[in-house]
Structure formats: C-alpha cells, structure tokens
Amino acid sequence: MLLLLLLLLLLLLLLLLLHYYLPTTITTTTTITTTTTTTTTTILLLLLRLLLLLLRLLLLLLLLLLDYYYYYLLLFLLIFYYLT
C-alpha cells in the first residue's frame, strides 16, 4: 500500500515535469533549428506526448488500485490537471 502511494507520487511528479517541460521544448527548438531537424524534433515531441498520455493512464490505474478513500485524490488530480 505504501509502495503504491510512493509510486503514485513519483508518477505525479514525472507528469508535472513533463507537462511543464514540453511547451518550452516546442518553442525553443522550432525557432532555432532547420527544417531537417524540425521533423526529428516533431517526431520526438510526438513520442513525448505519447509518453505523457501513457503516464496519465498509469496514474489513473494506480489510483484505482488503491482503496476507495483515494478516489478523492483522483478527483483532485483530475481537477488540478485540467486547470493547469
């Protein structure tokens, strides 16, 4: 149970880092690079977005594995995610 909570907090931290790191990589790489490297950064960006989506799904699955008391945490995280 405690291990699941720690994993959940780690996953949440990783999601927040990816969420705030991703928009800065878009603006800096597209303005500086050429067209050949822009396509590779676009592919990399799509892979990062896919990773972000998979991490969100994993977060939801971890929350569902916990007790029903943690559904309030799930509600809070969903509200927090959609407000940011």
Residue 1 CA to residue 6 CA, distance in Å, equals 9
Give dist(CA 44, CA 33) in Å, integer: 14
User: What does the pLDDT read at residue 22?
Assistant: 61
pLDDT tens digit string along 13-69?
Answer: 777 766 666 655 555 555 555 555 566 677 777 777 777 777 777 777 776 666 666
Kindly tell me the sign of the dihedral angle through the C-alpha atoms of 12, 17, 18, 20.
positive
Q: pTM here?
A: 0.45
Alpha-carbon separation of residue 52 from 3, 35, 61, 82 (angstroms): 22, 25, 14, 14
